[in-house]
């Protein structure tokens, strides 16, 4: 992926992001399915959530993409999985790959789920949400989790706005400074369990595991 820092940031590019993912969904899916895409962190999330739940884990993936590998592997391991994605094409692929999953085509800042989960994942999705709305997203994640439930996030590794290109489509990414993200997460009722800058290329990539207190 090629990236460059943008000076005139787009205040809210969620529609643009959704349309761009519709365009590239199949190529994105093929690439993702061939790799691990955060799976080692998902295994850590499952271990964390299991300390708080003895039965089948209920897991929500916010920005689940085409469902591979994460939702598919979780379903194969007996988890009850729900995915939300703003892109209709991604949802269509996720339903095909993970027929047992409940897949909702919706914006994570707007969807009303009316239920709670043992674990919530927002892997490589929140950096498409304007950072001015990250506090709201964290409050939503906390509301979707049972007390003691686990959260896995990835975030951009440094504050700023980036325009990147993937499979010929242009994408907007953004992030808060990591310490500002930590303050917001703790303010939303999360205790940080693991914090790792796992990729320093481009804008950097931060993996965060937390537990809802
Ligand atoms: C880079 S992909 C990651 C997909 C999946 N989490 C993975 O790791 O393979 C980002 C996904 O987040 C979705 N997304 C971005 N913003 C969203 C929002 N506000 N609400 C729901 N989905 C969103 C996109 O449609 C896209 O499928």
Residues above pLDDT 90, as percent of the chain: 85
Per-residue pLDDT tens over the stretch 76-96: 999 999 999 999 999 999 999
Pairing of strands 2-5, 160-166: antiparallel
> Which one, of 112, 58, 46, lies nearest residue 84 by Cα?
112
Cβ-based neighbours of 153, under 8 Å, separated by 6 or more: 121, 122, 123, 126, 207, 208, 210
> Which one, of 106, 153, 147, 92, lies nearest residue 125 by Cα?
153
Specify the fold of 2-212: Rossmann fold (3.40.50)
Per-residue model confidence (pLDDT) at position 12:
72
What 3-state DSSP class applies to 86? coil
Per-residue pLDDT tens over the stretch 54-69: 899 999 999 999 999 9
Residue 46 · residue 57 · CB < 8 Å: yes
CA distances from 115 to 37, 54, 58, 118, 183 (A): 27, 18, 10, 11, 26
What's the pTM value of the predicted model, to 2 decimals?
Answer: 0.94
Instruction: Domain ranges for the chain, please list them.
Output: 2-212
Mean pLDDT within 175-193: 97
The answer, yes or no, to whether residue 196 has pLDDT greater than 90, is yes
Looking at the CA of residue 87, tell me the nearest atom of ligand 1: 25
Find the residues whose C-beta lies inside 6 A of ligand 1: 14, 17-18, 21, 32, 37-38, 63-65, 84-87, 90, 107-109, 123-125, 128-129
Q: Please give the full DSSP string across 127-169, using - where no structure is assigned.
A: GGS-GGGHHHHHHHHHHHEEEEEEEEEEEESSSEEEEEEETTE
Per-residue pLDDT tens over the stretch 97-127: 999 999 999 999 999 999 999 999 999 999 9
Per-residue model confidence (pLDDT) at position 8:
47
Round to whole Å and give the CA distance between 69 and 81. 13
Per-residue model confidence (pLDDT) at position 5:
52
Per-residue model confidence (pLDDT) at position 165:
94
Round to whole Å and give the CA distance between 94 and 104. 10
The answer, yes or no, to whether residue 199 has pLDDT greater than 60, is yes
Per-residue pLDDT tens over the stretch 147-163: 999 999 999 998 988 88
Mean pLDDT in the chain? Answer: 93
Helices (H), 35-114: 39-50, 70-76, 88-97
Distance 108 CA to ligand 1 centre (A): 9
User: At 4, is the pLDDT very low, low, confident or very high (cuts 50, 70, 90)?
Assistant: low
Residue 94 · residue 64 · CB < 8 Å: yes
Mean pLDDT within 167-194: 96
Candidate of 85, 153, 173 to mutate for ligand 1, largest count of ligand atoms within 8 Å of Cβ: 85
């Amino acid at each position: 992926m090629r990236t460059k820092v943008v000076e005139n940031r787009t205040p809210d590019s969620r529609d643009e992001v959704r349309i761009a993912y519709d365009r590239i969904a199949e190529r994105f899916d093929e690439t993702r399915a061939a790799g691990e895409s955060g799976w080692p962190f998902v295994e850590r999330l499952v271990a964390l959530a299991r300390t708080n739940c003895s039965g089948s884990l209920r897991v929500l993936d916010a920005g689940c993409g085409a469902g591979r590998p994460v939702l598919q592997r979780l379903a194969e391991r007996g988890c009850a999985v729900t995915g939300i994605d703003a892109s209709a094409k991604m949802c269509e692929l996720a339903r095909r790959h993970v027929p047992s999953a409940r897949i909702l085509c919706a914006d994570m800042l707007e969807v009303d789920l009316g239920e709670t989960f043992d674990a919530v994942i927002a892997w490589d999705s929140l950096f498409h949400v304007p950072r001015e709305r990250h506090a709201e997203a964290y409050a939503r994640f906390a509301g979707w989790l049972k007390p003691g439930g686990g959260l896995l996030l990835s975030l951009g590794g440094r504050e700023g706005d980036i325009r990147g290109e993937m499979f010929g489509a242009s994408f907007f990414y953004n992030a808060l400074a990591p310490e500002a993200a930590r303050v917001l997460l703790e303010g939303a009722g999360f205790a940080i369990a693991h914090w790792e800058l796992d990729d320093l290329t481009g804008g950097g990539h931060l993996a965060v595991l937390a537990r809802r207190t």
